[in-house]
Amino acid sequence: MRSLRRRQRPTVTADALIAVVERSGFSPDPAQRAACAALAEDRNTYLVGPAGRGKTALLDAYVASLPAGTAVRAHWHEFIRDLHVLIGAHGGLDPALEAFLGSAAVLCFDELHVDDPADGIFLRELIERVGTRGIRLVVTSNDTPDALMPNPLFHETFLPTIEFIKHTCSVVELDSGIDYRSLSTHRIGFDTGRWLCPPPGPPHRPTRTVTVGSRSLPAWAADDNHLGVGFDDICGRPLGATDYLALARSHRTWTISDVPDLTEADREAAQRFVHLVDVLYDQAVPTTITSTVPRERFARAGRLPTGAARMRSRLSTLR
């Protein structure tokens, strides 16, 4: 195993970061400017706020402002998947981190959400190992550290990790009261999709089978360009974020048909739909959703899955 080595961290000024943000097409609000100042400091940073407040945009601007190769940026779901593969290939967390990070001195996670006890244990170990290398950690999340691991069955055992995160990270809140995703002009990626209510035409019947890992998934349309699949087939089966990632990379556009209000759906299926929207949004997959529920009334009350507010924010970008 290669010896652990501390990295020389790159730096950026707040003014330079704000300039990058402005060149990307929007003028940062006061909370976002304060976040830019925090990102210019040389310490771990945890950006938190409701959905649509610009956390991901700031993270992308921060990475873009650094010298090439000095930062690694990953969505949390993708990072967990890739690192577990590397752990198996390299025989442990330390060599896997070395392989994943290369020469980078900054590690950035977008959309951190921890509700699985195994991921919670892994997160604590990860922060500690990254810290021994002198690597800066920058995180975005809709959840404050105290709100991580929300399941009361596991939350108490996660409290030491929460305190560790608060001790090692500067927690910066972003909430101007504006959901910037709701101002989308529907120009690229996920934003070019549509929410169709009522659904056009009769229900689709599965006529094809799509393979993801060792599982077979019924679909009513499937080729490299498009995947058409019903809600029950894509969310009612034991699929995870890694499965959705694989499918998103195999099909350039999606239609998800017959989506019910999540308050009426099976609880696990509703949670999978949130994860699926996360993946399709982050992978910039143009997505059309058909439902008998108007988007403005979708998932607004009752028992809702974790991450429902973020999901609604992302769905608001659809035409």
CA distance 53 to 48: 9
Q: Which residues of the chain have pLDDT under 70?
A: 1-6, 184-187
**Rounded distance between C-alpha atoms, residue 56 and residue 62, angstroms:** 10
Q: Which two tokens stand for residue 265?
A: 């759906």
Query: Given this model, what pLDDT does residue 253 score?
Result: 96
Domains defined for the chain, CATH in brackets:
14-177 (3.40.50.300), 184-315 (3.40.50)
Whole-number Å distance between alpha carbons of 35 and 23: 17
Percent of the chain with pLDDT over 70: 97
Check residue 177 and give its pLDDT.
79
Tokens of 252: 């350039």
pLDDT tens string 234-261: 999 999 888 898 999 999 999 999 999 9
Model pLDDT for residues 34-89, shown as the tens digit of each residue: 999 999 999 999 999 988 888 988 999 999 999 999 999 988 877 887 888 899 99
Cβ(53)–Cβ(174) under 8 Å? yes
pLDDT of residue 185: 63
Residue 54's identity, in one-letter code, is G
Is 224 exposed, middle or buried (CB count within 10 Å of its CB: 0-12, 13-18, 19+)?
A: exposed
Distance from C-alpha of 49 to C-alpha of 31, rounded to nearest angstrom = 10
